[in-house]
């Protein structure tokens, strides 16, 4: 396989980053626009600045009508690290076909991110025109306090022991392929924690092994499918419980995974989901055609969190790629996304008087990848979209900065819950350094 073909095929390893089905709950609320037209910029290159810099956010307001317009401009800032002194709402007069600007200077006093919103409401209007812009300051310096309970380590050691006691009961169903496929395809069924059946698509190169292997894990509700070509790597596109074809014992609907079992850490959905990923790695390591010294896990969004958790709970992982990751710094995430998540969580809490927000945070602390991250000793890569309103980068760095292994990241200034094409070239090159080229071992 020539190099361009190899890269194109390798790109198919990547998780789905932009489909709504792969995104966890929460995210920016879209608000209808009204006059005038509004844009928001920040005077910092690449969206990142140094500690101590002042960033100026400029809202440009254009009145595209033939009538004069009066508007009220209000600034808002969301941040886990920075405290902003905001000016009082400002009233501006825009002449017909005229323009004006409003500026917010924001001192970036410590490492962190600031998500700035400008709300522009026309006199007599009911809904503001809202624009948002996030900037970052020394993201590698971000560090949040852990929220581990005293029995955190014991909980995970007990959970791993419970998984080990479950027989995998491997079932392999070969699937006929096309004559020009460079792999043999099988559907694999395994038993995971609680005896739950989970499935995935295994693609094994036709060339002689052993081969490096990549475990692909899904975004929220995403269905993992086989890819078109694998080169010289084993690829396991794996569906955790309630996802894809892993719905025999844990139903896919309703789509409330993050709320399932929040009353008790032993019953929480992600206890089983994390163990599903470890069980998938167990299976790869049981195969003679897999090189156990060249193992990768790769996911995005929920899959990014699953990648972190797999690398933390399974030391056999040699490289972890966690893109736009969820399941990071839960306390911070719920602070930043309270407007979006509060309805689902409020309904869940109201359904049982014995439930409480404090209890929710205690349960989530066991599954917060930030609390697990110091167990990750393998090479770790992360890509984030600076404007991501679903998995805010400040939470992602809460986990990433506690990883003990060699690590590197890329931030894409204009991206939201998805990554720029250039990211994949970088990630694939890094992957090849650890696993060897997809063209040959």
Catalytic annotation, residues: 301, 388, 417
SS3 413: coil
What is the side-by-side strand order in the sheet with 171-175?
171-175, 183-191, 197-205, 233-239, 211-216, 290-300, 319-323, 379-385, 407-412
* Local structure of 298: helix, strand or coil: strand
Residues sharing a CB contact under 8 Å with residue 8, sequence separation 6 or more, in sequence order: none
**Position of tokens 């409480």?**
356
Phi-psi region of 298 (alpha: psi -120 to 50; beta: other; left: phi over 0): beta
CB 301 within 8 A of CB 361: no
CA distance 367 to 271: 7
Which residue, 78, 83, 61, 85, is CA-closest to 387?
Answer: 78
How far apart CA 280 and CA 198 sit, in angstroms, is: 9
Q: Is the peptide bond before 210 cis (omega within 30 degrees of 0)?
A: yes
Beta pairing partners, 278: none
* CB count in 10 Å sphere of residue 344: 14
**Rounded Cα–Cα distance for residues 265 and 269 (Å):** 9
Query: Residue 406 burial by CB count (10 A; 0-12/13-18/19+): exposed, middle or buried?
Result: exposed
> At which residue do the structure tokens 């002449």 appear?
95
- Cβ atoms of 156 and 139 within 8 Å: the answer is no
Q: Which of 363, 357, 408, 402 is nearest to 382 (CA)?
A: 408
CA 49 to chain centre: 23
Strands (E), 268-361: 290-300, 319-323
Cα–Cα distance measured from residue 88 to residue 85, given in angstroms and rounded to the nearest whole number: 10
Q: E strands of 150-305, at which residues?
A: 171-175, 183-191, 197-205, 211-216, 233-239, 290-300
Identify the H or E element spanning 60.
Answer: strand 54-62
């Amino acid at each position: 396989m020539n190099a361009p073909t190899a890269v194109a095929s390798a790109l198919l390893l990547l998780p789905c980053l932009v489909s709504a089905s792969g995104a966890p709950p929460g995210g920016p609320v879209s608000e209808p626009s009204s006059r005038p037209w509004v844009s928001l910029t920040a005077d910092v290159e690449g969206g990142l600045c140094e500690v101590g810099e002042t960033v100026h956010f400029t809202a440009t307001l254009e009145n595209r009508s033939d009538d004069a317009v009066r508007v009220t401009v209000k600034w808002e800032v969301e941040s886990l690290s920075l405290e902003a002194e905001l000016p009082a709402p400002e009233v501006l007069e825009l002449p017909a076909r005229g323009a004006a600007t409003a500026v917010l200077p924001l001192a970036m006093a410590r490492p962190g991110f600031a998500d700035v919103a400008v709300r522009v409401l026309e006199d007599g209007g009911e809904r503001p025109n809202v624009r948002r812009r996030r900037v970052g300051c020394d993201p590698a310096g971000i560090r949040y306090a852990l929220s581990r309970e005293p029995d955190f380590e014991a909980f995970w050691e007990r959970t791993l022991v419970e998984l080990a006691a479950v027989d995998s009961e491997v079932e392999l169903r070969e699937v006929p392929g096309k004559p020009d496929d460079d792999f043999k395809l099988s559907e694999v069924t395994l038993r995971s924690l609680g005896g739950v059946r989970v499935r995935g698509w295994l693609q094994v190169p036709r060339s002689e092994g052993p081969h490096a292997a990549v475990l692909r894990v899904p975004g929220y509700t995403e269905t993992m499918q086989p890819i078109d070509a694998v080169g010289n790597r084993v690829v396991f596109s794996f569906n955790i419980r309630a996802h894809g074809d892993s719905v025999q014992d844990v139903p896919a609907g309703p789509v409330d995974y993050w709320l399932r079992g929040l009353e008790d850490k032993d019953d929480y959905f992600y206890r089983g989901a994390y163990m599903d990923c470890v069980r998938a790695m167990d299976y790869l390591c049981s195969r003679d055609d897999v090189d156990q010294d060249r193992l990768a896990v790769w996911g995005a969004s929920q899959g990014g969190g699953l990648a972190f958790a797999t690398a933390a709970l399974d030391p056999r992982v040699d490289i972890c790629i966690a893109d736009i990751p969820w399941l990071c710094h839960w306390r911070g995430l719920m602070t930043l996304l309270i407007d979006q998540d509060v309805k689902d969580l409020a309904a869940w809490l109201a359904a049982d008087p014995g439930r409480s927000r404090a209890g929710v945070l205690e349960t989530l602390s066991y599954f917060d990848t930030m609390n697990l991250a110091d167990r990750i000793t393998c090479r770790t890569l992360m890509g984030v979209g600076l404007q991501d309103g679903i998995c805010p980068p400040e939470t992602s760095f809460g986990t990433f900065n506690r990883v003990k292994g060699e690590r590197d990241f890329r931030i894409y200034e204009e991206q939201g819950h998805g990554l720029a094409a250039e990211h994949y070239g970088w990630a694939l090159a890094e992957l090849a350094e650890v696993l060897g080229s997809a063209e040959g071992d």
